[in-house]
Copies of this chain bind each other. A is one copy, B any other.
Amino acid sequence: MARKVVIVGGGAAGLGAAGGAKAADPANKVVVYTQFEDVAYSPCGIPYVHGKEIPDFQALFLADKQSYVDAGIDVRYETTVRSIDTAAKKIRVEGEGEVSYDSLVVATGFDYKDPGVAGAGLGGLYYVKNIRAAMEWDKVLDTVKKAVIVEASALGLEMVTALAHRGIETHLIDPHPWALGELCDPDIAAPVQESWAEMGVTMHWNTELKGFLDNGKGHVRGVATSNGEIACDLVVVATHKVPNNALAMAAGVTAGSTGGVVIDDHMRTSARDVWAAGDVCEIPHGLGGLPLQGLTGSHAYAQGKVAGFNAGGGDRAYQSVYVPWGMVAGKWMIGGVALGEVAAGALGIPHVVGRATGISRARYYPGVKQVRVKLLAEPGTLRLIGAQMVGGEGIKERADFLGVAVRKGLTLHDLATMENVYSPPIGALNEPIAVAAQNGVAEARKGA
């Protein structure tokens, strides 16, 4: 029986849900409400246009509005959903009034964590999110001489790299002692930071933001920090993502310790016929079930597809996540999956470590890059519980692989004896993952 599936949010999760609802039953009526002028563009591409690696914002659009019309998906642009009534199965939309649904998907995404200091309303504070705003900010960047990035989050790393690449004097402040301090280990962050220094970036570690400073005309003139003031023309506020959960919370939908909406393995919330997907949710980590929030666009899209499919009458489960990650930062690629040494240490999880530094192609082949791999395993079983890498190529593919390896319970023994492609232009005699695993097995023997 066809249903009316209403989706709140037009990002990766919302549009994934729209596609999922149509996949479950093409007769479903699917309506998406978004506060923005556009859907179906890649917000993840914005830092690279700012960095002038991508020539213009038009490149980021994935599909035109007509393609959604053609797919039978009714997108309502520049709309605001005011409330959800889960008992009556209705939402209230500004200007449109009450709208009923059979199934609702909440995909309201994230906000940047409020920095919680004075001056947050000043001009010159850039919260990267919406493409139309980014186009305006890009013009501003042409006039900026000196910028401060607040926090070495994933977006912060991308923006530091982009602004330095653009030739802006770039400062980074972060309360941790190194980049991506909660996710990434210091040995993995170190080459990135060295390369930023080469690019002229000034890093201020162990440094708390104390306030944004007013130039007297309502525009930022610098930031106050625990280590003094830094003058600047622009601040990029790249604090951590927090769930944009207000609408769901007001409707009585249960949220968890992270503030993310709690969902089951079918992306169902605590409310009848209400699903949720993407950055508004929290998702249990596959290792130990710790709730995670603020994952990637790829996760949001995949969760959206599952939520929409189920909201549209289908039956599909979403797996626990192990979160392979990867990015370009400075002159390097970094990435990993699940636990690093810092996280495992902080959680008190015992682990054996295997490390290796290898190369991406034959030593003599042009374009060869270093690849450093660190593998963490459970003592005894040597079951893989995490990995971190830094290198010049092949980091994303290795992170994907190791993500599946963690999920499927593969061990260092499995990886130590893996076969690998050896062909001078694309792969070295020894695969660094295999060597790191061999070294981990040897470490474990020593410890035993």
A436 to B59, CA, bound (A): 26
Minimum distance in angstroms from A393 CB to a CB of chain B: 8
Minimum distance in angstroms from A41 CB to a CB of chain B: 10
- Cβ of A325: which chain B residues have Cβ within 8 Å of it? 421
If A364-B54, A394-B394, A395-B426 touch, whether A298 touches B421 (CB-CB below 8 Å) is yes
In the complex, whether A414 has a CB less than 8 A from a CB of chain B is yes
Among A53, A296, A325, A364: residue with most chain B CB under 10 A: A364
- Cβ of A410: which chain B residues have Cβ within 8 Å of it? 404, 408
Among A302, A325, A405: residue with most chain B CB under 10 A: A302
In the complex, whether A400 has a CB less than 8 A from a CB of chain B is yes
Q: Which of A421-445 contact B (CB under 8 A)?
A: 421-427, 429-431, 433
Whether A298 and B422, one on each chain, are in contact in the complex, defined by CB atoms closer than 8 angstroms, is yes
In the complex, whether A299 has a CB less than 8 A from a CB of chain B is yes
- Cβ of A420: which chain B residues have Cβ within 8 Å of it? 298, 324, 396, 400, 403
In the complex, whether A415 has a CB less than 8 A from a CB of chain B is yes
If A394-B396, A405-B404 touch, whether A426 touches B42 (CB-CB below 8 Å) is no
Q: Which of A352-389 contact B (CB under 8 A)?
A: 362-366
- Cβ of A53: which chain B residues have Cβ within 8 Å of it? 365-366, 425
If A59-B364, A364-B42 touch, whether A301 touches B429 (CB-CB below 8 Å) is yes
Minimum distance in angstroms from A126 CB to a CB of chain B: 19
- CB-based closest 10 A-B pairs: A397-B397, A298-B422, A401-B401, A59-B364, A326-B421, A396-B427, A396-B426, A396-B421, A328-B425, A394-B397
